[in-house]
Amino acid sequence: MEFTGVAKDGSTIRFVDGKRYWWLAGLAMPAAVLASYGLYLSVIPDTLLLLTPLFLVFVLVPVLDAIVGEDPNNPPEEVVPAMARDGFYDRVAYIGMPVHYVLFFATAWLIATQEPPLWVSVALAYGIGMMNGNMINLGHELGHRRDRRNRLYAKLALGLSGYGHFTMEHNLGHHARVATPEDCASARMGESVYAFALRELPGAFMGGWRQEAVRLKRQGVPLFHWRNEILQVYALTALITAGLVAWLGWAVLPFIVVHHFISWFGLTLVNYIEHYGLLRQKRADGKYEPCAPCHSWNSNHVVSNLLLVQLQRHSDHHANPNRPYQALRNLDGIPQLPSGYPACILMASIPPLWFKVMDPKVMAWADGDIGRVNR
């Protein structure tokens, strides 16, 4: 589809989004896992097939990122309003949500009824939890929209793994404090992802509730009220859990718990990567400088960006939170990750390796001045 805009000189700018239908590639991952379940149940009863989610996330995608490489190109700024109005890009996110729900239900059924070996069940729960962490990402994208419909869809996305406090803390807390020591979701240089998780997971939970308490107080209603958007998401999660237990029995509960925790931890891993070591400086008045693109790590790797609806162009997202994913830009002079998020998650899971790769990058970003580093 061609988008048009008007340049400053009055000429018409025309742009064709070559990635338009490639954004649907995010559906390929859950579809491939569901296909592997079909093969396991009907043709190849080998439990190794149930490791497909881990293989896709941590082997295939990093390899494809390395082979396909990066795309640093941006749509012309003049056509961004037209791209933002095109409902196709929102529908990509909407379509992804029921697919991830089906993946979750199918996995719960498989583990509860087929009873694979314990280590396979754990590996499967981990892999699906990481894949369904993308539902939190979809909730992130839609939760930045201001209209009621998209905010509702964001709740439906977050309800799959019970991460109801995310939107409040992310939009009102993280975006205000990003790249400062006060932000629980901004990692410090030299801090392992495991130490970071001990700050970020409870910090995000408490921060979300604080933000929601303030919002409801302004409306003149108590914290525990049907208008509480965190409780709305938790209610959906509880309903899903109760339905699965009624359908499949209590044996499904361990899978649900592990799945939800891994989805949460997957977000923690991403948060760790996105701002590691980067620091906004304090001005003379004691306030931090405004958030700029240089305060987030960026990645232009094509494959993982398609799968994550361009979350990895995080520098532009924090500088312009309301810019839709399809129009996020690669900008000059911003810090660049060595790969897409899946490979970076693998590195972050091995702290010495992460420090060896990323600490020199942080110091180069800070021009060798340790005082400019979040530590």
Cα separation of 286 and 214, whole Å? Answer: 24
**Lookup result for tokens 């149940």:** 41
Cα separation of 312 and 328, whole Å? Answer: 10
Q: What was the pLDDT predicted at 202?
A: 97
Secondary structure of 93-110 as H, E, C letters: HHHHHHHHHHHHHHHHHH
Structure tokens at 4: 């048009």
The sign of the torsion formed by the CA atoms of 1, 299, 320, 364 equals negative
Structure tokens at 372: 């400019």
Enumerate the domain spans of the chain.
2-372
- Residues facing residue 298 across a β-bridge: 336
Cα separation of 120 and 178, whole Å? Answer: 38
Cα separation of 375 and 366, whole Å? Answer: 12
| pTM of this structure | 0.94
What percentage of the chain exceeds 70 in pLDDT?
Answer: 100
Q: What was the pLDDT predicted at 10?
A: 86
Q: What was the pLDDT predicted at 9?
A: 84
**CA separation, residue 1 to residues 166, 190, 273, 329 (Å):** 34, 46, 34, 19
Residue partners of 49: CB distance under 8 A and separation at least 6: 36, 37, 39, 40
Degrees to nearest 5, angle at CA 236 with 233 and 238? 110
What is the tens place of the pLDDT at every residue in 282-338?
998 889 999 999 999 999 999 999 999 999 999 999 999 989 999 999 999 999 999
Cα separation of 325 and 145, whole Å? Answer: 11
Mean pLDDT, the chain, integer: 95
- Are the CB atoms for 345 and 301 separated by under 8 Å? no
- Are the CB atoms for 94 and 154 separated by under 8 Å? no
Compute, in degrees rounded to 10, the torsion defined by CA atoms 18, 6, 90, 92: -10
Q: Which residue numbers in the chain have pLDDT < 70?
A: none
Q: What was the pLDDT predicted at 365?
A: 97
